[in-house]
Structures are given as C-alpha cells and as structure tokens.
Amino acid sequence: MKTTKPEKLKSVRYSKYGYWFILPFFIVYTVFSLWPLISTFYYSLFAYTTRNLKETITFTGLGNYLKLLGLADGEKAYFLKYLGNTLRIWVFNFIPQIALSLLAAAWLTDSRVRLRGKGAYKVLIYMPNIITAASISLLFYAFLSQYGPLMSVLRNAGLISQNSNIMSSTWGTSLAISFILLWMWYGNTTLLLISGMMGINASLYEAADLDGASTWQKFTRITLPLLKPILVYVLVTSAIGGLQLYDIPALFNASGYIGLPDDTSTTVTMYIMRLHSTDTGRAAAVSIMLFLITVLISLFLFRAMRQSESGRRHKKAEGGGQS
C-alpha cells in the first residue's frame, strides 16, 4: 500500500516534534559541560600572575602544558608525579574491589547456595556507600593515626615499634586510602554485578550442568562473557572516579591540598585545587590533560570490549561452520 503525499508531509511534521523533547538535553549539556570545557581550554593558554594586588594575563600558548610535563626549562613534571600517585591509589583499590565483588555477586546469585538473609547482606555491604566521604575519612584518620586505637593496640602488643606511624609511610598512606575506597565502593560494585548476573538466562547454566561443566568453567565461559558490558561500565566509571579522586585523600591527610608524607599521596585533582588560587592557567591545563587522559582510557576500554566481543562471535561462527 503506497503512502500518499499528504500522509508523508504529516509524518514529517510529527517527526519534528521529537527534536523538542531532546532539545533540553543539548541546552543543559552546552551550558554546563561543553561551554565550561571550551572556556577551560581557553584559560589554559594564558598565564595569570598577581603582583601588588594587580593581576597580569599573558598569552603563553602551550607553555602551561610544557611546564606541567617538565619540558620547559627549570620545571619539574609535577603532573606526571601526581598522576602516578592517583593511579597507584586507584589500582590498589580497584583490583581487590572487582575480585571481591565478582566473588560475592556469584555467591549471592548461585541458586545452590541456600543463604538466609541475602537482602540484609546486600543492604549491609551497600551502607558504607551512603556515608559521606568526610565522615569516613575522619573516622579512618582517627583510627589509623599514630596514637589511634589500632596503632595503640599493636604497639601495646609489641607487634610494632613505639615510633611506628602509618601516616609517615608512603605505601602505608596509599594503601590506607585505597582500603577506604574499597570499603566504600565494594557494595555498589557488587550490586551492579548482581544485577548483571541475574539477567543471564538460567537455562545456560542448566545446559552446562548436563554437559558436566565445573563451576570454574561456567564462571569463565558463561558468566564473564555475558557480564562483559556490566564489567566495562564498572571499569570505565571506576577509572573516571579514580582519576578525579579528591575528597578521601584530601580529608584523610587532614592537610588540604598536600598529600602526606612528602606529597606522595597528592592526587591530580588536589593539585588542581592547589593551583586554582595561585595559577589559574596552569590549573586549567591540568584539567584539560586529565580530561584527555580520561577520554583515552574510556575509548581504549570500549574498543577492547568491542574487539573481544567480535573475536568471540567470530570463533563461534567458525565453530558453527565446522560442525
């Protein structure tokens, strides 16, 4: 049945109304995301100096970026140093977090595990996520300080020396911050993985049981491949949050913008806040570099997922053709 010309015009006219529904998104995105990003890049091309209460603005081009990377004369690569601190804290948080979350999610979704109070357990592991970062940071700072409860117990038991202090150790401080993040976000990651596992067809596991597959084989060949979209989402959001990490290390160190000891737990966002009041141009350059690194990591993860997914489909097609 052919569509008449008036009907075509009518459908085109009605289709235009759809643009009015998506217009608010583009307006909000332009005002609160795109324009701030463009203006930040603009500010990064200038040097702002204040002398005698007078601010001087000088165009430097890519000078701020060269200074941050240590490519300018007399400048150190502070950005790379603080990026290394940030990645170290994130890695020691995320690797055990994803491992424990996968284990807990598989345990809670396994029909053979007859565990009472699964709902209560889910609530308990998620509760740290609803506590404010300031409360958690100050709590652990008081607990792990040199004369806090934990150190006092270990000192009285003779397990550590009288002068031991986690806060004066580079690895001790980094691992403590990583543990706080692990404890805080472990429940959220577990619930995301549980939702993904519950969406997997149970008949796949029943067929695997009939074929005599072990628990490990079912987990690696059924659960993980079908859970990959959720895993990529968790990995990307965790990487973005890890690169933008600020509140926990800043409050845990109780030092504002300097991560103790000796600036070894200072993150990139702490560095941005430190520069904001003294060198706006360099702070803007750090923000742009952090944005570009976040985009590159996200694109890499999405590309890796797409390649592995296409490879899996190609193998399946080859197997089907040979059978």
- Is the pLDDT assigned to residue 299 strictly greater than 80? yes
Q: What is the DSSP letter of 4?
A: P
User: Which is more confidently placed, 312 or 204?
Assistant: 204
- For residue range 107-120, what is the model confidence (pLDDT) as tens digits? 888 777 777 777 88
- For residue range 69-89, what is the model confidence (pLDDT) as tens digits? 988 888 889 999 999 999 999
- Is the pLDDT assigned to residue 124 strictly greater than 80? yes
- For residue range 211-231, what is the model confidence (pLDDT) as tens digits? 888 888 888 888 888 898 888
Q: What are phi and psi of 244, to 5 degrees?
A: -100, 20
Query: What pLDDT was estimated at residue 10?
Result: 54
What is the Cα–Cα distance from 37 to 19, expressed in whole angstroms?
25
Query: How far lies 116's CA from each of 57, 68, 93, 100, in Å?
Result: 66, 55, 29, 20
Query: Which tokens is 268 given?
Result: 């990139």
Average per-residue pLDDT for the chain: 84
Query: What pLDDT was estimated at residue 318?
Result: 58
% of the chain beyond a pLDDT of 90: 27
- Is the pLDDT assigned to residue 315 strictly greater than 60? no
Q: Are 189 and 234 in contact (CB under 8 A)?
A: yes
Q: Are 272 and 64 in contact (CB under 8 A)?
A: no
What is the Cα–Cα distance from 167 to 281, expressed in whole angstroms?
32
Q: Are 289 and 79 in contact (CB under 8 A)?
A: yes
The reported pTM is 0.82
With 0-12 / 13-18 / 19 or more C-beta atoms within 10 angstroms meaning exposed / middle / buried, residue 174 is buried
Query: What pLDDT was estimated at residue 301?
Result: 82
Query: What pLDDT was estimated at residue 172?
Result: 86
Query: What pLDDT was estimated at residue 4?
Result: 57
What is the Cα–Cα distance from 217 to 201, expressed in whole angstroms?
16
- Is the pLDDT assigned to residue 286 strictly greater than 90? yes
What is the Cα–Cα distance from 59 to 68, expressed in whole angstroms?
16
Assign residue 100 a region (left: φ > 0; alpha: ψ between -120 and 50; beta: otherwise).
alpha
What is the Cα–Cα distance from 137 to 252, expressed in whole angstroms?
5
User: Which is more confidently placed, 208 or 254?
Assistant: 208
What is the Cα–Cα distance from 96 to 69, expressed in whole angstroms?
31
Query: How far lies 274's CA from each of 67, 240, 285, in Å?
Result: 16, 20, 13
Q: Are 252 and 140 in contact (CB under 8 A)?
A: yes
List, in sequence order, the alpha helices (H) in 110-227.
118-130, 133-144, 149-156, 170-198, 202-210, 215-218, 224-226
- Is the pLDDT assigned to residue 180 strictly greater than 70? yes
The contacts of residue 45 (CB under 8 Å, 6+ apart) are: 59, 60, 61, 62, 64, 281
